[in-house]
Chain A
C-alpha cells in the first residue's frame, strides 16, 4: 500500500499545461456575480424531523431508539428478518457492545466477520457500521473508510448504520465543511454520502430498488446514551 509521493512518467504534462495557460490568456467578458443575499436551500429548522422525512423519501428505514438496549433490540429484529449467513461488522467497541447486547436469538449461529479481519465477503448477508455524520437536508449518512472500509456500505444486500442523534447536521454544506475541517482525507482514502438503498431506473425509467448495492439501508438512530 503506497503512501509515499509517487512519480508518474508524464511526457505530455508540460504540453497540456502549456496549452491551458495559452488558452487562458484570451480575455473573456463575464456577467456579474450572484447577489449574496439569495438563499438557495430552505434552512432546516428541525434536523431530526427533516432527517426522518427524507429517509422515507429516500426509501431508507430509520428506527429511532431511546437507549443502547433499545438499539440492540432493533438490531436483533433486523438481523432476524435476514436469511442465514455471515454478517460483517466494523470493529469498534460500541458495535462490539451492541452485538453482545443483541446477542442470543439474532446473532447466535451467525458468523461475524470484523473489519479488522479484512474486507467483507461477497456472500455477507448484512454489514453493520457507524457513520461520521447524518445529514438532515438530504436524509443522508456520511461514511468514510474508517467505517469498516469501502465495501462495508455496498457489498451486502442490507447495510445497517448505528448512529446517535447528536451526529445530525442540518445540511450538506455543514457535512462537507466538517470533512475539510477534520482533514478526513489525511486519514481516509474514501468517503461517501449515502442517500438511500442502491437503485436504478435504466429500464423504462421504472425505479428498481437494490441494483448492485444494498436493497435495504437501515439507520438505528439513538437519542439517549
Chain B
C-alpha cells in the first residue's frame, strides 16, 4: 500500500497537469481575489481588525477551560445538553446513540468540517440513518461520494456542466440545463423534502460565545437555518477551540470571517442559538445538544510555538492564496483540512510520521501568513513541523545519511571540492548518455519535468581562484 506521501506526490503531479482543473480553479480564485480585495476595502483598518481578532482568539484559547465551562453552564441552564468528547469515536458514538434512542431515521446536516474530521456521516449511515448534506457544495460532493475539496466552497473543483451531469444521473434525468439558478432550484426542491422529513438537524458552529452561552453559525444559503429550526432535535458538533469570550466580539469576527471567506461584508445569516425551543415560541427543536470535540486539540495547547494554530476560524483564505493549493487542488492533500492550515494542523491531529510531507507542500513564501485574519504564523509553523519531524526521527534514513555526508564535506573544504568534482563528472556522463530524469539521475526529481540545467565547466572555487589571480591584490 502506498503511503500518504506517495499518494500526495502522485496526485499532485496528476492535478498539476490537468488543464481543465487548472482553468476551473483559476476562475474560481480570480473571482474570490476580486471579492476579497473589495471586502477588505470596506474595513477602514484591516490590520487593526486582524489584530483584534487575534487578541480575541488568544484570550479565548489561553483561558479555554474557563470559557468552555461558562458556555456549558449557560446552555445546560436552558435545558440544553453539552457532551465532551475526548476523540472522534466518542463524539460519533454519542450522536449515533442519541439518534437511535430517539428513533431518528433521517438527518439533515449543514456544513461542518469537524463532522468530516470525525467521520460522523459514515457512523450514522452504519446505524441505518439517512444523512443529507444540505449546503449546495456539500450536497454536490456527497452525491459524488467524495470529500469536500475546500473548507468553504466544497465543490469549487467542478464546473456547471459536470454538476448538471451529476444531477441528471443522480436526481432527475429530465434536467436539460446547466444554469446555476436552475441547478440550485433542483437541489432546493430535493432538500426541502429532507428538511421537513428529518427528525434531527446537525450543524457545526463557527463560534461558541461564552458570556451569552450561544452557538454562532454563519451561513448564506439558509440551509443552516432550516437544519436548526425544523427538525425536533438539533445537534451541534464543534471543536473545543471555537469558543470566544463575549457576544460583542462578533462585531469584528463576523465581518472579518465573511471578508476572508467569501469577500462579503457580512454573511447573510449570523445565527445565534442558546438552547432548545422555549415555552411560548412558535417553533424550534425540542432537544439541543452540543458535542465539544477535543480529538487532539488539547495537545496543541502544550505546544509553546504552535498553540496559536487553535485560533483558526476556518475561513479558507490561506487555501485561496497558496500557490501550492492553486496547483495541486484540495483533494491531493488527502486530509480533512487542506492547504496551509491543513498542512500545519494534520501532523498534530493525525501523526507527524505519516503527514510530515505536508510541511514540504509549501514554498514558504508566507502568502498564507499575510492573509490569515487571526494572524497565524503559518509558514513558520510549517518550518517548525519540518524540524520536529527530523527531531522525532521521522525523516527517511537516506535523507539523514545525505545530510550527514553534506555536513562532513562542509566542514572539510577538500572533501567538498572532491565531491563537487565527482558530481559534475557523473552528471555530465549521465546527461551525455541521455539518462537525465531517469532513475540513474541523482537530479531525477527536477529533471523528469525539465531540461537539465547546463553544468558549469569548472567549479565556483576554481573560478574564484582564477579571478583572484588575474586581479591581483584588488580582488582580495
Are A23 and B48 touching (Cβ within 8 A)?
A: no
Q: In whole angstroms, how far apart are the Cα atoms of A93 and B221 in the complex? A: 31
A22-62 to B contact mask, C-beta < 8 Å, 1/0: 11111111100111001111100000000000100110000
A1, A13, A146, A200: most-surrounded residue (chain B CB, <10 A): A200
Are B212 and A180 touching (Cβ within 8 A)?
A: yes
A5, A40, A200, A202: most-surrounded residue (chain B CB, <10 A): A202
Taking CB atoms, residues of chain B closer than 8 Å to A57 are 265
Are B136 and A200 touching (Cβ within 8 A)?
A: yes
Are A190 and B274 touching (Cβ within 8 A)?
A: yes
Closest to A13 in B: B84
Taking CB atoms, residues of chain A closer than 8 Å to B441 are none
A-B interface contact total, Cβ < 8 Å? 310
Are B269 and A24 touching (Cβ within 8 A)?
A: no
User: With contacts A42-B44, A199-B221 known, is A150 near B229, CB below 8 A?
Assistant: yes
Are B278 and A145 touching (Cβ within 8 A)?
A: yes
Q: In whole angstroms, how far apart are the Cα atoms of A94 and B273 in the complex? A: 27
Are B32 and A205 touching (Cβ within 8 A)?
A: yes
User: With contacts A3-B78, A40-B49 known, is A205 near B31, CB below 8 A?
Assistant: yes
Are B43 and A191 touching (Cβ within 8 A)?
A: no
Give the distance to chain A from B377, nearest Cβ to Cβ, in Å.
10
Q: In whole angstroms, how far apart are the Cα atoms of A48 and B83 in the complex? A: 44
Are A6 and B248 touching (Cβ within 8 A)?
A: no
Taking CB atoms, residues of chain A closer than 8 Å to B183 are 203
Give the distance to chain B from A157, nearest Cβ to Cβ, in Å.
10
Q: In whole angstroms, how far apart are the Cα atoms of A160 and B156 in the complex? A: 33
A192 at interface by CB-CB < 8 Å: yes
Taking CB atoms, residues of chain A closer than 8 Å to B180 are 203-204, 206, 208
Interface residue from A42, A187, A194 paired with B268 (Cβ < 8 Å)? A194
Are B212 and A179 touching (Cβ within 8 A)?
A: yes
User: Chain B interface: which size bin?
Assistant: 35 or more
Q: In whole angstroms, how far apart are the Cα atoms of A35 and B292 in the complex? A: 34
Taking CB atoms, residues of chain B closer than 8 Å to A152 are 282
A109 at interface by CB-CB < 8 Å: no
Taking CB atoms, residues of chain A closer than 8 Å to B140 are 202
A140 at interface by CB-CB < 8 Å: yes
B453 at interface by CB-CB < 8 Å: no
User: With contacts A173-B248, A201-B262 known, is A20 near B298, CB below 8 A?
Assistant: yes
Taking CB atoms, residues of chain A closer than 8 Å to B229 are 149-151, 154-155, 190
Are A185 and B268 touching (Cβ within 8 A)?
A: no
Are A118 and B221 touching (Cβ within 8 A)?
A: no
Return the 8 tightest CB-CB contacts between A and B, nearest first: A213-B222, A23-B301, A149-B282, A119-B283, A211-B221, A2-B79, A150-B229, A198-B222
B-side interface residues toward A, CB under 8 Å? 24, 27-28, 31-32, 43-45, 48-49, 51-52, 55, 58, 62-65, 68-69, 74, 76-86, 90, 134-137, 140, 153-156, 158-160, 163, 180-181, 183-184, 188, 191-192, 195-196, 211-214, 220-223, 225-226, 228-230, 240, 246-248, 250-252, 254-255, 262, 265-279, 281-284, 286-289, 292, 294, 298-304, 307
Q: A149-B229, A211-B222 are in contact. List 19 more A-B contacts (CB 8 A).
A: A15-B86, A19-B298, A19-B301, A20-B68, A23-B298, A26-B302, A26-B303, A40-B52, A40-B252, A119-B283, A151-B226, A151-B230, A154-B222, A185-B78, A185-B214, A190-B274, A200-B184, A202-B155, A212-B225
